[in-house]
Amino acid sequence: NVQQLADGGVFVGWGTDGSFSEFDKHGALRFDARFADGQVDYRAFRFEWSAKPTGKPAMAVRQNGDGTMTVYASWNGATGITHWQICTGKHPSRMETAVTHRRHGFETAMTMPAQSGYICIVAVGADGRRRGAARPIPV
């Protein structure tokens, strides 16, 4: 199948071959892929997709031996997250942003000085708005 794109390019699904390609308006290849597990498809389409998972973001904390800790953050399926805020405090109801990190892939690992009290992560969108937060956990 062929899908005409708004910029004049096309997106092609190669059917039972299991691959799909995108070409610019001059015919130059921009993107070419196939399913890694050998799956096939009948049709392929390109479109904007936005998702906000149900539930809260997930986090884990590892205390390192050098006086730091690594905070892991993810929110399965969230497409609008650009940054993670790490919030800390002595009580779960009184937490403040300690650091902000750019989101990297499915799970973002962030290292910071070791803390005591409580910690949580907050998912932040490109517009600076908070999208979701994990439950605070003791550290």
What does residue 16 show for φ and ψ, rounded to 5 degrees?
Answer: -70, 0
pLDDT score, position 100 = 95
pLDDT score, position 18 = 85
| Whether the Cβ atoms of residue 70 and residue 59 lie closer than 8 Å to each other | no
Q: What is the pTM of this model?
A: 0.71
pLDDT in tens, 30-89: 999 988 887 887 888 998 888 888 899 999 999 999 999 999 999 987 888 999 999 999
Query: Other CB atoms closer than 10 Å to residue 53's CB: what's the count?
Result: 15
| Whether the Cβ atoms of residue 33 and residue 27 lie closer than 8 Å to each other | no
Tally the C-alpha atoms within 13 A of residue 35's C-alpha that lie toward its C-beta: 14
Judged against a pLDDT cut of 90, whether residue 138 lies above it is answered with: yes
Distance of alpha carbon 11 from alpha carbon 22, whole angstroms: 4
pLDDT, mean of residues 12-34: 93
pLDDT score, position 22 = 97
Judged against a pLDDT cut of 90, whether residue 13 lies above it is answered with: yes
* DSSP E strand boundaries for 5-117: 10-13, 19-23, 29-34, 58-63, 68-74, 81-91, 94-102, 108-113
